[in-house]
Structure 1
Amino acid sequence: MNYTLNQLRIFVAVVRARSVTKASEELHLSQPAVSIQLRNFEAQFDIPLTEVVGRKIYITDFGREIAAAAESIIEQVHAINYKTLAYKGQLAGKLKISVVSTGKYVMPFFLSEFLSQHAGIELIMDVTNKSSVLESLENNEVDFALVSILPTTINIDWLELLPNRLFLVGKTGQNVNTKNVVNEQLQIYPLIFREKGSGTRLAMERFISEQNITVFKKMELTSNEAVKQAILAGLGYSIMPLIGIRNELSNRQLEIIDVQGLPIQTTWSLVWLKEKKQSQASLSFLEFVTSRKSAIIEQNFSWCEPYEK
């Protein structure tokens, strides 16, 4: 046996993703590079680790056992690295965070300085939909989650970060009559929704219900970016978080439509399980965010202030 640590990582990634293509995307490698390393790794075993049926890859029972052993080896390597850094007096370890999709415009700014100060911290950040974020939090798979609406079914602690304001947004120059936009105009153009379970959609549906708005045409898209592109194409309007449309407002591609009852305000919060035993890395990050929160907001989010008046 002469397999490398890199081959172990690649095999574990393929097993998790059940796809060479997805594994290559996760590892930021080309698909041919992953295929070659996987083939070289498998060639060292007399028993097949994978089977290809049609265009789909399947992991054999033996392959799953090897994957479990490989994960253990990789974890031990991480442990050696962390212990080495800790012996030198440096903070080390993994920091796992799950972030709702629009939170990708927020979380990096609270991580940048901390990670630059602590090179021994390995960040694992999953940007996904709200239901997956809450599932990973409830299953204790992450240290923290970033949400805009606090969960009510999970016993949590939280730290409020900054306001999340949602406005009605349309393509610039559509000559919207703000007096009737919530009724007549939205009957002409579709109202664009995020997918079910999205915090943005929940806030949007609550507003529509409270204002007794009748929506005859609507469209459902699964990401904030997709919603933006649909609005830019003139397909309709949507209620969107201000935090995700900075560039489009600056470039005058999108405009905020002044409507009574808006903006909707929620709060971006860092949340964690109430009884969770935090690692030194996660405790240090929480202390950092608590102490540096105001400065980070002032430095990176002051551009929001003119829209909040």
Structure 2
Amino acid sequence: MLEWLVQAESALANSSDRLNAINIFPVPDGDTGTNLYTTVAAARSGLNVDDPAVRTVGDALAHAGRAALDQARGNSGTLMAVALTGLSEPMRESPRLTAPLLAQGLDRARTAAWSALSDPQEGTLLSVLTRCADEAREFLDSLDDQSSDHLNSRRVLAQCCEHLVVTARTAVVATENELAALTQAKVVDAGAIGLLLVLDALRSAVTGRPCEEGLLEGLHGTDIQAPHLHSHLPDHEGHEVMCSMVLSPLDAATLRFGLDEIGDSVIMSPISTDADTEGRVRWRIHAHVPNVETALELVRRAGQPENLDVTDLSAGGHPHATTHSHRDS
């Protein structure tokens, strides 16, 4: 798990500028690559392999996922963190990763990511995650006559990962025709590419072979000479609000409804399922809103925000122009 996250962090670091350049959905603020890199870096740093509480691969990925979600940046970064956390759930009792567990994990990750976003869209990271979850299940179904020892072997896991990378790349290509904004700009989705890179890093960690150098070749918008699209698009008015909060189920539902009423790109996902004595759990909140004061009033009415970050979405392509007066503990 640690080797996977190290490889994923490196791959996103190397590609973040190119992902930023084609980031036009849901808003053209040019920071998807940076957000994904920052989020996966938080996952990697949040995994302490010497922690006695990390006994299984599920524990390892859960620790990494919670750290990523608590510090997630942006729309794609938050969804990636949600996916990592969901992926860990079927692995909680397993000392190693297997193809069947990966298939189960991808299915959980798909459900978690689509559920977290109030208005999920095809042609994004979500589409790639869906195709990969389906492919992992179909791959295993094709081996249903094999023994459990064979299905749980490292060889089958490696084969599954190879299939996933091919499927993910095909799904990334398809995003250009699944979302009107991408079709008009003639590019693929930046967040979808990020997930492709993360899955290729998993393949590399499992097989011991390097990440594929030419993985992004031919994907529209990824050529080094391609323009930075967001710099030619009108500024998007509004703010991105992100924070973590301890909420009861009712307060969480009320906050989601309120944010849906005043904004869009609303993502809410529990960071942990361990409830306190009052039944409250820790949540990660993300939203794009036209009026930041109205949004902050809703948030603070629900509870005490932590890691609160407000970004001006009309910052001319400069990511994380934070309104410091709104930064809480």
TM-score (norm 2): 0.22
Q: Which has the higher helix share?
A: 2
Q: Which has the higher strand share?
A: 1
TM-score (norm 1): 0.23
When Rg is computed on C-alpha atoms for both structures, the one with the higher figure is: 1
